[in-house]
Amino acid sequence: MSRTKLVSDSSLLLDIWVLLRQAKLDAPSFRTIAAAVGLSAPTLVQRFGSREAMLERVILAAWDRLDDATDAAIGESLNSGKGAQALLKNLSAAEDTCRLLSVSQAYGATHDRAKAWRAMVEAALAKRLGGSGLQARETGARLFALWQGRMSWQETGGKNFRLGEAIKELSR
């Protein structure tokens, strides 16, 4: 007879993700995570099988949350006069996208999720910038890259440019 889980998988996955984000850990051990979340290392091994499987599930759960937030941000930005800027502002508040993109490079399934998410955001940006052709797609890709670059360096010195002005410049 199996024991009742005191901590749900979704809660545990979120707790581990918060730990990965805050501690900037790329490959923590079961022992490190167990101590932080209040479970034993054998319990984590029993739930996930391997450290790699656990980290992949944690990252995929973060992508699920970001996909939900992205869908909501895309919908909200349709009703906003600041389309692309509103979309990026909402996404900036949704999840630590730079960290998520960074840790997703290590695993096949998470890497594919990162690529799909980027394509979705770039397409939404292109649409909000007024088109669906090659030029709009390229502009959406440039804006995505500017936004992610700004997000990744924000912790080390603030804002070097105004996103709204970059959008205006790229839209010309």
| Assigned superfamily of 9-171 | Tetracycline Repressor, domain 2 (1.10.357.10)
Q: What is the mean pLDDT of residues 81-100?
A: 82
Q: Reduced to 3 DSSP states, what percent helix, strand and coil does the chain have, rounded to the nearest 5?
A: 75, 0, 25
Q: How would residue 3 be classed by pLDDT, with cut points 50, 70 and 90?
A: low
Q: Which residue has the higher pLDDT, 172 or 59?
A: 59
Q: Is the pLDDT of residue 1 over 60?
A: no
User: What confidence category does residue 158 fall into, taking pLDDT thresholds of 50, 70 and 90?
Assistant: low
pLDDT score recorded for residue 164: 72
pLDDT the model gives residue 124:
92
CA distances 104 to 79, 101, 140, Å, are 31, 5, 22
Over the stretch 112-149, which tens digit does the pLDDT of each residue have?
999 999 999 999 999 888 777 888 889 899 999 988 88
Q: Write down the pLDDT at residue 104.
A: 85
* Torsion angle of C-alpha atoms 116, 122, 123, 128, degrees rounded to 10: 150
Residue 136 pLDDT: 85
* pLDDT of 25 strictly over 90: no
Residue 121 confidence (pLDDT): 94
Task: Note the residue count of the chain.
Answer: 172
Residue 98 confidence (pLDDT) above 90: no
- Integer angstrom CA distances of residue 142 from 16, 126, 135, 151: 32, 10, 10, 14
Question: What is the residue extent of each domain of the chain?
Answer: 9-171
87 token code pair: 């979309």
Query: What would the pLDDT profile of 31-88 be if each residue is shown by its tens digit?
Result: 988 988 889 999 999 999 998 899 899 999 999 999 999 999 998 887 766 788 889 9
Which amino acid belongs to residue 123? A
pLDDT, mean of residues 154-168: 68
